[in-house]
Amino acid sequence: MEIMVYKACDAILTKCDADLSAAEAHGMATGLLCVNERTTGNDWLAELLRNAGSVSGEDNTLLARLFEQTRRLLFSDEFEFDLFLPDDDSLLSERADALKSWCRGFLFGIGFSRPASGFNKETREILKDITEFTRLDTDVGGEEDENDFAEITEYLRSAVLLLRDELSSK
pLDDT in tens, 16-47: 888 899 999 999 999 999 999 999 999 999 98
pLDDT in tens, 122-140: 999 999 999 999 999 888 8
Burial label for 53, CB within 10 Å (0-12, 13-18, 19+), is exposed
The answer to whether the CB of 36 falls within 8 A of the CB of 168 is: yes
Domains (range + CATH), the chain: 6-167 (1.20.120.740)
pLDDT in tens, 78-89: 888 999 999 988
DSSP tag of 3: S
User: Residue 142 and residue 150: Cα distance in Å, rounded?
Assistant: 12
